[in-house]
Structure 1
């Protein structure tokens, strides 16, 4: 599984209906689970982004479908980062020679 970090901001629609946000999170967890992935951690944040999600998916195509499915609902805008764990980081750096 590949790890991804999603940075989310509410849209005007999403913040207007913010009380529904916990149920939308639950629905999002189910959507990603049905695609073969999972949300590992969720954070409400202060600053440039409203929320941060750490999740896993089988591949980039699944993660892209998940991000697009969230965006289609109109409540959030996402930015997705592919994350390399420490072991992969060390391997990448060591391969530089």
Structure 2
């Protein structure tokens, strides 16, 4: 599998090809379709990374776990009542693709 960076580079090249050349509509559409597939794959991978980061950041360290001892039930109740994660690193909203 290609890295995110490699796929972003490929996406830039596709975009440049569509903008800079005298492609026929079919060729441009094929490149656009390939670009959309790349974007969706990149978004999926970034979402997975964000989830992993949030999970790691919200894990208590060993020292906190030992200190929590008696107040463990309070913490569980608090987490159960909380709809949002304790730490939100990214608020990523995909940008819409303009059709220029």
TM-score normalised by the chain length of structure 1: 0.30
Structure with a larger share of its residues in strand: 1
Q: Relative CO higher for 1 or 2, CA cutoff 8 Å, sep ≥ 6?
A: 1
TM-score normalised by the chain length of structure 2: 0.29
